[in-house]
Amino acid sequence: MFSPGRRKQTVMVVDDSDDVRELMALQLRLSGYDVVEARDGREAVELARERCPALVFMDIQMPVLDGVEATRMIRGISELCEVVIVAFSAFGGEHGARALEAGCDEYVSKNEGINRLAGIAGRYLKAA
């Protein structure tokens, strides 16, 4: 749980569904993370440059720029090479394989992982 003396770590939630994005952001904020939100892959790349998140939960299927291409672009930014990117999608199979191939560190199904966000974040982020 978050303690007041600890610096918050930034987590970015990328999803084109307002409801899903807001639910994920709320869960992470309640666990003590500083959360930034992006509605599509292009916005995610821009925010990643500005905010340098420690962790990104990346939806795969989105308009404008999908999560696979956004992941590739983020991985190409040298100052963001250490960011952890977790693909978070309702689609499995080929989507998960493409996400991992593009540079995601893990693939999590929205159906199984929506209630485990803080635990997933905690696996990757050390207490500051």
* Interatomic CA distance for residues 52 and 44, integer angstroms: 11
**CA distance readout (Å), 125 to 41, 54, 56, 62, 92:** 23, 7, 11, 26, 25
Identify the structural domains of the chain with CATH numbers, from first to last: 10-124 (3.40.50.2300)
Q: Which of 1-10, 12-21, 115-124 shows the lowest per-residue confidence on average (mean pLDDT)?
A: 1-10
Question: Which residues, in sequence order, are CB contacts of 82 under 8 Å at separation 6+?
Answer: none
Q: What is the pTM of this model?
A: 0.89
Q: What is the widest separation between alpha-carbon atoms in the chain?
A: 43
pLDDT in tens, 19-53: 999 999 999 999 999 999 999 999 999 999 999 99
Question: Which residues, in sequence order, are CB contacts of 78 under 8 Å at separation 6+?
Answer: none
Look up tokens 């939630």; give the residue: 13
pLDDT in tens, 75-113: 999 888 789 999 988 776 777 888 999 999 999 988 776
Per-residue pLDDT, 6: 40
pLDDT score of 3 more than 70: no
pLDDT in tens, 28-37: 999 999 999 9
Per-residue pLDDT, 8: 66
How is residue 21 written in tokens?
């994005």
H helices of 1-128, in order, are 18-30, 41-51, 67-75, 94-102, 110-113, 117-124
